[in-house]
Structure 1
Amino acid sequence: MGSHSHGQADTHGHQHSHGHGHGHGHTHDGIDWATMIPDLQRDDAMSAAANAEIASRLIDAIHVGPEATVLDIGAGAGGQSVAFARELLAHGGGRLVIVDAVPELLEVARQAVKVALDGDDRVRVETVLADAAAADFGAGLPEADLVWASRSVHHLPDQQAGTARLAGLLRPGGWLALAEGGLAMRCLPWDLGVGTPGLQDRLLALRDAGFAQMRAEITGSTPMPYGWNVALSRAGLEQVTSFSVLTDHPAPPAPAVRESVIAWLSGLTERVGDRVSEADRATLTALLDAGADTYVGAREDIYILGATTVFLGRR
């Protein structure tokens, strides 16, 4: 979504964003995140190496010992929380606070971290149900050495105000890191042998148009006509920079990659809905028909390649 890749929405077509809403798993963007838990968990599995690299770079940046406090805002199914927990453990321990507006996601993330830590109590894990768009957001949260938000700020009505709110959670010297933008996930060859070549590009263009519409329909939606590094600087942070990590699963695909590509294509088909041309709709039907020889899941030339960009700044 956004840039969306969800953007990872987006590396994977929903991208991992979550957060921010009221009750029943619904957020300001009108997305029912609780129903997407299996997709989010699949995305986390595909992104595990990238998540580990992000955690390593960010935990190294804060280089504080076992007293380090990390806030994961809009944690989704907990893939990045798991990576932070493991990295904190490697640095002697710390405190991980998982924050989301959707109770079902909080529970799934907490469980994922619990499994990863396997009883090691050197990382203290807390969960907080909170809406990042609320005026009193942060009231119940500790000051942090690292605040992380992945593809969630772009779901907030005012992205700059949301960035500033997150920056306000930092203790002096702490870092805010936002995963926003990057490169949309690619997984299909250009010519599929069915329909007109270039299907993926047309679907991604429709998805981006849908993202713009989603932003326009958020109550109180405020444009942010500049990049995330500028947003961090305007939030008062210094040493603003960015880095990108790849999610790369080359062809021929492992079974989990096949499943992920099928889910990505079917999810994207749902998202673009009736905005897709009749010809492309016919192609999608052929690609998603498990009984047909055009089934995308049986191809040897599908893959996953995407990039996540992390923007960071220091208080």
Structure 2
Amino acid sequence: MTRTHQHAPRPGEGSHQPGHGHDGHQEHGDAGQAEILDLDAEVLAEHVESITAWLPLNNEPRQIVDLGCGTGAGTFALLTRFPDSHVTAVDLSAGHLQILREKARDRGVERRVRTVQADLDSDHWPDLGTPDLVWASASMHHMADPDRALARVHDLLAPGGLFAVVELDGFPRFLPADAPESRPGLEERVHAAADGLHAERVPHRGANWGPMLSAAGFTIADERTFTINIEGERSEAIGRYAYRGLQRIRGAVAPALSPEDRAALDDLLDTDSPNSILRRDDLAVRTERTVWAARRA
């Protein structure tokens, strides 16, 4: 991705955003995104585990690369699923990689993790070894030239190795359709406005990766869509996840909303308001993730 493709990250997205600078503004953005990534990992941990358990592997991988690792949701799920593995975690953000290293130390797995800071849209990738498994969760759609990136992953993999592309089919929804009471359907209109903004900046978001993987020389081993519906009472983090996610989107979509919708959204995001999203007891996380498992012949 080039600088012209910068966009506000959404909950559940990976953090590989090629071309971003490392000035103070970006560091501040990294901190906010790191919080959302951590909430995403906490709320959706069970579903990430189910994806790693589903992977159609011929053998248990020993060397794994996590492309666009963020703060480590996939990295740690893979380390748990494959106890004899070593993961090379790759991301553009130095801040996210630092958080990941701290987590690895806290969990006692620092010897099984190597972090690499890299812009995967650059002309040259760093040496990432010859992995048995490459994992890319919500990161491939950020690539400026995904066909080139897919070809590089193909050449990187060991013969017979597996490439798992995990992508969100849609932005997570949290509110009931008739909420909030003052502006029913507000969340859908917010997402529609965000989708319009992102369509040009992130054209590969929501793409069908199957044909692109085949064109890059992969054989599609399997494809599956995982439906996620987590009721709010299962985790108090869902409220914070909804709040931070909608708060982060608000700055980008506010000009595209009607004054009434903008006021209703601000009311939801006002922690002192009786209508604050943090005070609701009817939240849920509803989304889908599609996984393409592709094998190097």
* 1:130 matched to 2:118: yes
- Kindly indicate whether the alpha-carbon contact (under 8 Å) linking 1:69 and 1:95 is maintained by their aligned counterparts in 2: yes
After TM superposition, give the deviation of residue 254 of structure 1 in Å.
3.5
Return the alpha-carbon distance in structure 1 between the equivalents of residues 23 and 190 of structure 2: 27
CA contact (8 A) 1:253 1:303 kept: no
Q: In structure 1, what is the equivalent of residue 273 of structure 2?
A: 292
Residues 1:102 and 2:98 aligned together: no
TM-score by length of 2: 0.87
**Structure 1 residue 246, shift from structure 2 partner:** 3.8
After the TM superposition, which residues 107-126 of structure 1 pair with which residues of structure 2 at under 5 Å, given as runs?
107-116=98-107, 118=108, 124-126=112-114
Q: What per-residue deviation string (whole Å, max 9, x for no partner) do you get for residues 202-232 of structure 1?
A: 111111111113237xxxxxx7996200111
Instruction: Give matches, 1:21-32, under 5 Å.
Output: 21=19, 23-24=21-22, 32=29
For 2:220 and 2:91, the matched residues in 1 are separated by 28
Tell me how far apart the structure 1 counterparts of residues 259 and 72 of structure 2 sit (CA, whole Å): 38
Aligned-residue sequence identity (percent) comes to 28
Gaps of 5+ in 1: 1-8, 217-222
Matched residue of 1:283: which SS? helix
- Structure 2 alignment gaps of length 5 or more: 1-8
Contact 1:167 1:237 in 2 (8 A): yes
Match of 2:225, SS? strand
Distance 2:200 2:134 in 1: 28
Write the deviation string for residues 27-53 of structure 1: whole angstroms up to 9, x where unpaired: xx9x94354211211111112111111
DSSP-derived class of the 2:182 partner = coil
* Partner residue, 2:46: 49
Question: Aligned in 2, Cα 1:287/1:239: closer, same or farther, shift over 3 Å?
Answer: closer
Counterpart of 2:51, as a letter, is I
Letter in 1 for 2:82: L
Match status 1:272 vs 2:263: no
Whole-angstrom distance in 2 between the partners of 1:182 and 1:49: 18
Q: Are 2:15 and 2:91, in contact at CA under 8 Å, matched by a contact in 1?
A: no
Amino acid of the structure 2 residue aligned with 1:61: L
- Written as runs of structure 1 = structure 2, the 5 A alignment for 1:1-315 is 10=10, 12=11, 15-21=13-19, 23-24=21-22, 32-58=29-55, 61-64=57-60, 68-89=62-83, 93-116=84-107, 118=108, 124-137=112-125, 139-215=126-202, 227-252=208-233, 254-315=235-296
For 2:189 and 2:78, locate their aligned partners in 1 and report how far apart those are by CA, in whole Å.
36
Q: Is the 8 A contact 2:101 2:110 kept in 1?
A: no
**CA separation of 1:179/1:225 partners in 2, compared to 1, >3 Å: closer, same or farther?**
closer
Q: 1:287-313: per-residue Cα shift (whole Å, max 9, x none)?
A: 122222222211111111222111121
**Segment drifting more, 299-308 vs 193-202:** 193-202
Aligned residues: 287
Q: Is the 8 A contact 1:82 1:112 kept in 2?
A: no
Kept in 2, the 8 Å contact 1:149–1:177? The answer is: yes
Amino acid at match of 2:117: L
TM-score, normalisation: structure 1: 0.82
Give, as a single letter, the amino acid of the residue that structure 2 aligns with 1:311: W
